[in-house]
């Protein structure tokens, strides 16, 4: 499964880079097959039969499960706290243990309320982390001290680039860019490869052309530090082949579709975390209530009244009802 692959990709660099020796790493997974696979790769690693056994004596708990399985894990962590009070259980959950989550959509408050722990770090990695090229954005509670932050940073940077953000809201935003971003790239990749095959290339050749074009373009953008528009213009000659392709992309609202997709992803991330997803272009942050609309109309009426010229006297006077005399008819003595 994807979660199991994440687990393996995280453990391997932690042990390989010497961040933590294998004999100090304990794991638990519902799949014995996954645990057997990891234990064969890393001699000395401890496989456990339950979550309380796995987290007993731990300084850092790494939680990597599907979002719908979180309540079960919460219950097990709470059970570990109860077992700690029983000296005969053999389970000892440290009071100051730190929990690191690599689960999409779950806010820090969910972990705090679910487990009762105070030291929580939430992260959002992406699939390239499986080859050490991941991009992870993370945040944590104020209870996590500087030394613990350093350790978490070390763990997350072992499988790619990491960025710490003070405000948790940026993690939901990053989900739509770096978290789900590889899927957008893979879709673009797939479309380009299919076009190449349609034109006559073999799939292997088309794949090589597209893979290295995307890889080279990304590295080039990173190394030059230029704005993407500048780089795009350097490839686009007037009335040339690239200009024709760009015209079709712009005519098909390529930019708008990409931006709308990113906003849709962000909104879904907010929904999964139980937050208001009514954000983004064309969506007011707060739905107006009937009372708010009435108050707004009343305010507008007051402004309109104030903008009228002052009226002399206590009451409005009736306009004169005499006949109108046209300028051109004054010589004739009146209106025709």
How does pLDDT run across 176-215, given as a tens digit for each residue? 999 999 999 999 999 999 999 999 999 999 999 999 999 9
Confidence of residue 87 (pLDDT cuts 50, 70, 90): confident
- The residue ranking higher by pLDDT, 130 or 137, is 137
- Rounded Cα distance, 9 and 158, in Å: 10
Q: Tens digit of pLDDT for each residue in 136-178?
A: 999 999 999 999 999 999 999 998 999 999 999 999 999 999 9
Walk across the sheet containing 119-124 and list its strands.
60-63, 98-101, 119-124, 134-140, 160-164
Residue 43 has pLDDT above 80, yes or no: yes
Averaged pLDDT for residues 25-49: 89
Strand partners, 258: none
- Rounded Cα distance, 45 and 11, in Å: 10
- Rounded Cα distance, 120 and 112, in Å: 7
Per DSSP, the residues of 217-239 read HHHHHHHH---HHHHHHHH--TT
Confidence of residue 133 (pLDDT cuts 50, 70, 90): very high
Q: Which of 73, 166, 178, 169 is nearest to 124 (CA)?
A: 178
What is the torsion angle, in degrees rounded to the nearest 10, for the CA atoms of residue 40, residue 42, residue 48 and residue 52? Answer: -160
What confidence score (pLDDT) does residue 37 get?
87
User: How many contiguous H segments (helices) and E segments (strands) does the chain have?
Assistant: 13, 7
The pTM score is 0.78
Confidence of residue 326 (pLDDT cuts 50, 70, 90): very low
């Amino acid at each position: 499964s994807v979660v199991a692959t994440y687990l393996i990709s995280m453990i391997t660099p932690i042990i390989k880079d010497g961040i933590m020796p294998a004999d100090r790493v304990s794991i638990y997974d519902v799949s014995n097959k996954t645990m057997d696979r990891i234990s064969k790769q890393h001699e000395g690693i401890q496989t456990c039969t339950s979550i309380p056994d796995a987290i007993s004596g731990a300084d850092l708990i790494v939680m990597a499960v599907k979002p719908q399985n979180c309540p079960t894990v919460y219950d097990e962590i709470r059970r570990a706290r109860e077992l700690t009070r029983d000296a005969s259980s053999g389970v000892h959950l440290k009071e100051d243990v730190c929990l690191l989550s690599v689960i999409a959509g779950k806010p820090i408050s969910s972990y705090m309320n679910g487990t009762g722990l105070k030291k929580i770090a939430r992260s959002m990695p992406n699939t390239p982390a499986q080859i050490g090229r991941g991009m992870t954005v993370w945040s944590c509670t104020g209870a996590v001290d500087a030394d613990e932050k350093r350790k978490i940073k070390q763990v997350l940077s072992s499988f790619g680039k990491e960025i710490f953000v003070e405000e948790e809201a940026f993690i939901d935003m990053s989900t739509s860019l770096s978290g789900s971003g590889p899927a957008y790239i893979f879709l673009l990749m797939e479309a380009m490869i299919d076009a190449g095959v349609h034109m006559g290339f073999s799939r292997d050749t088309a794949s090589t052309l597209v893979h290295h074009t995307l890889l080279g373009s990304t590295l080039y953008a990173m190394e030059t530090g230029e704005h993407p528009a500048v780089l795009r213009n350097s490839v686009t000659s007037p009335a040339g082949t690239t200009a024709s392709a760009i015209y079709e992309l712009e005519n098909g609202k390529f930019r708008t579709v990409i931006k709308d997709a990113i906003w849709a992803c962000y909104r879904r991330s907010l929904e999964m975390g139980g937050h208001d997803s009514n954000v983004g272009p064309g969506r007011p942050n707060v739905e107006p209530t009937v009372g708010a609309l009435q108050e707004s109309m009343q305010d507008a009426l007051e402004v309109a009244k104030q903008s009228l010229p002052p009226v002399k006297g206590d009451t409005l006077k009736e306009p004169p009802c005499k006949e109108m005399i046209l300028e051109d008819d004054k010589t004739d003595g009146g209106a025709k």
